Structure 1
Amino acid sequence: MSTGVVPGLVLVAMITSVAYSARGFSGLALFSPMILAVVAGMVYSNVLGLPAHAKAGIAFSQKRLLRFAIVLLGFRLTLGQVAGIGLGGVGIVAATLGATFLFTVTLGRLIGVDRKLAQLIAAGTSICGASAIVATNIVTDARDEDVTYAVAAITLFGTVAMLGFPLLAPVLGLDQHAFGLWAGASIHEVAQVIGAGFQNGTLSGETATVAKLTRVAMLAPMVIALGLMARRGSTDASGARPPLPWFVVAFVAVVALNSLVAIPAQFHSVIALAAQVMLTMGLAAMGLQADISQLRSRGLRPLMLAFSAFLFIGCFSLMLVKFA
């Protein structure tokens, strides 16, 4: 690693520290450090400006650190956990993911949302929030402002789901297993799923967590599919065929390793923390490069798209849980 990246890395680390510290304030604990880092980065760069000597380190955080963090997410999951919710549960999760992604991309096209931004919102809603947005952007190559917009919208509606869905469980007649499956199949971020799931009991929380991790496992095939689409588009345009992202292959390999080898719990804790910190640093870097004036130019249509996707995934998954 070149010493030229150090100033930018220091700035990104400072923004990340602010994001973690801010969660100690009343009300901000509801938000993940990732969304707080995006906001802090945007405020810093749009108020104070971005030092030229920091750009190399910011780019390093946005690209290399993010890719490595996504690989480490594989340590959250084993194939045994996926099997734990049964074939029916896996089917509900897969059907919800696929239908939500297609619905969001299609609606985005119909209402005039940029294709890349619509794909980011679709991935964040259907798979695993900010992590999925970051992974998807590696193959879609959207603008930093689009990533920031998608992360903010997904966090907003995921927080609404985390707070509201547990209140709906008795109204909808969902037992702990059914509610856990619904929460895991529909709420955006892993932390939000855990927060909502355990509000209704231990069984509900455990079921929600496994269902959510099953969605996380589907990140790899989704990114591969988008990568193949990008390859086809690139081939049509220039004859060049960009490689499939290496981090997806590494993610799958890590899941396989985690499934076959007994890894100490202490190691898992360290890896989970490292992955979250690196994801937060990557999103802080994106916030630092996001121009608020360009973000405003996107208007309300992408927010409407994210809201529609939120309603769709909640209703579609509930229908499958209740009647499938």
Structure 2
Amino acid sequence: MTTVSQISTADEPAKAGSILPGLALTCAIALAAFGLHQLPGLGFLSPLILAIVLGMALHNTIGTPAAALSGVKFGLRRVLRAGIVLLGLQLTLSQVGEVGWSGAAVIVVTLVSTFGFTKWLGRIIGVDHKLAELIAAGTSICGASAVIATNTVTRARDEDVAYAVACVTVFGSLSMVLLPLAGDAFGLTPQAYGLWTGASIHEVAQVVAAAFQGGEAAGHIGTIAKLTRVLMLAPMVLALGYAATRRRKPDQAGGGSVPVPWFVFGFMAMVGVASTGMVPDAAMPGVVFTTQFLLAVALASMGLETDLRKLAAKGLRPALLGAAAWLFILVLALALILLTGAAG
């Protein structure tokens, strides 16, 4: 006679084996994205962006294999959370202190104001509130990483996530090209220019590319300012999880449950570990690569579930929202820096 425990034990290898085809596929896409990132002309696109583009291309041409579906969902959930947790190792509290109180105030005010403005405008022009929330998070915090982390509590459609990632990619890339020119036009000091890039550009890689065009000092301040924005990912996701619970009616599915993003606490714990100095400098390149790879796997998974026809059906209003949010964060951050004299 077969017992329940025997059945459970027998099923475990089957479940583990069922994710392997999809996990292998998403890992292969992530590796291909890293390879493409090294090619001339594609270096300005992060492997995360390239991974979701490759995944979408595969899904919308030959289709995602049925055998890969379990592994794809695993990538969207477990692998994503692992990547966000590891992201915390790239930031220390002492680094945050380098931007100073005035610089930190500029970053926080810009972030919160941009998020609120984007949500408000999305409601005014008729963009679905979940998609508006994802665009708001990606613009105000840290691009694609913030979009997919926020979606753990927003619970939007895959097409919404892909649209939001596309917005932060396009407008963040424009910032990367235009801000070095604008910095010269406004006569900003290297410190002020670096703070502007870090407080307003979407992706970490885009900030690094733009900030270092203003010199070593600008690049350093820009990177630290951007990582300070990344730190805000944790409280923002927790706040959105609480807000989602308040919005959900008691008779709705999951109405009595609180979507607690536990991985956020892991992220904060890793910031604490990094702040102790326990992580040797020699290990950081490996940490950065592993983090980026895990997030690329998650975005490859997202691409493998994204239908371009559904994406196109959303129209231009979300793109206009992304453009408005982009202009808002650029202008507000610059105005605050000039008015307060932050970063000299």
TM-superposed CA distance for 1:26, in Å, is: 2.9
Query: Does the 8 Å CA contact 1:232/1:241 hold for their aligned counterparts?
Result: no
Moved >4 Å (runs of 4+): none
Partner of 2:10: none
2:301 to 285, 289, 305: 285
Per-residue displacement from partner, 1:156-208 (whole Å, max 9, x unpaired)?
11011011101111211201000011111000011111111111101100110
SS at match of 2:43: helix
Query: Does the 8 Å CA contact 2:118/2:132 hold for their aligned counterparts?
Result: yes
1:8 to 22, 25, 31: 22
1:218 to 215, 224, 232: 232
Of the structure 1 ranges 66-75 and 243-252, higher mean CA displacement relative to structure 2 is found in 243-252
Partner of 1:316: 332
TM-superposed CA distance for 1:236, in Å, is: 3.8
CA distance in 2 between counterparts of 1:32 and 1:282 reads 14
1:92 to 106, 113, 124: 106
Query: Does the 8 Å CA contact 2:197/2:210 hold for their aligned counterparts?
Result: yes
Whose helix proportion is higher, 1 or 2?
Answer: 1
Partner of 1:56: 70
TM-superposed CA distance for 1:88, in Å, is: 0.5
SS at match of 2:113: helix
Matched, 1:295 2:311: yes
Partner of 1:187: 201
TM-superposed CA distance for 1:243, in Å, is: 4.1
Per-residue displacement from partner, 1:3-61 (whole Å, max 9, x unpaired)?
11000011111211221222233321211111111111111111101211110000001
SS at match of 1:27: coil
TM-superposed CA distance for 1:241, in Å, is: 2.0
SS at match of 2:257: coil
CA distance in 2 between counterparts of 1:291 and 1:243 reads 26
Query: Does the 8 Å CA contact 2:176/2:209 hold for their aligned counterparts?
Result: yes
Query: Does the 8 Å CA contact 2:140/2:200 hold for their aligned counterparts?
Result: yes
Of the structure 1 ranges 73-82 and 251-260, higher mean CA displacement relative to structure 2 is found in 251-260
Percent of pairs with identical residues = 49
Partner of 1:256: 272
**Matching residue's letter, 1:320:** L
CA distance in 1 between counterparts of 2:110 and 2:201 reads 11
Partner of 1:109: 123
CA distance in 2 between counterparts of 1:243 and 1:187 reads 29
TM-superposed CA distance for 1:270, in Å, is: 1.2
Partner of 1:275: 291
CA RMSD of aligned residues (A): 1.1
1:176 to 168, 187, 190: 190
CA distance in 2 between counterparts of 1:20 and 1:178 reads 32
* 1:197-208 correspondence runs (5 A): 197-208=211-222
TM-superposed CA distance for 1:228, in Å, is: 0.3
1:74 to 88, 96, 99: 88
Query: Does the 8 Å CA contact 1:235/1:241 hold for their aligned counterparts?
Result: no
TM-superposed CA distance for 1:62, in Å, is: 0.9
**Matching residue's letter, 1:259:** S
CA distance in 1 between counterparts of 2:333 and 2:61 reads 42
Matched, 1:83 2:97: yes
Query: Does the 8 Å CA contact 1:234/1:241 hold for their aligned counterparts?
Result: no
Partner of 2:321: 305
CA distance in 2 between counterparts of 1:188 and 1:298 reads 22
Query: Does the 8 Å CA contact 2:153/2:259 hold for their aligned counterparts?
Result: no
CA distance in 2 between counterparts of 1:224 and 1:15 reads 31
CA distance in 1 between counterparts of 2:92 and 2:298 reads 25
Q: Between Structure 1 and Structure 2, whose CA radius of gyration is higher?
A: 2
Question: TM-score if structure 2 supplies the norm length?
Answer: 0.92
Partner of 1:151: 165
CA distance in 1 between counterparts of 2:27 and 2:269 reads 29
Aligned residues: 324
**Matching residue's letter, 1:316:** L
CA distance in 2 between counterparts of 1:25 and 1:139 reads 35
Gapped runs of 5+ residues in structure 2?
1-14
Per-residue displacement from partner, 1:183-242 (whole Å, max 9, x unpaired)?
110000111111111111011001101111110011101001000011222364444122
SS at match of 1:42: helix
Of the structure 1 ranges 242-251 and 189-198, higher mean CA displacement relative to structure 2 is found in 242-251
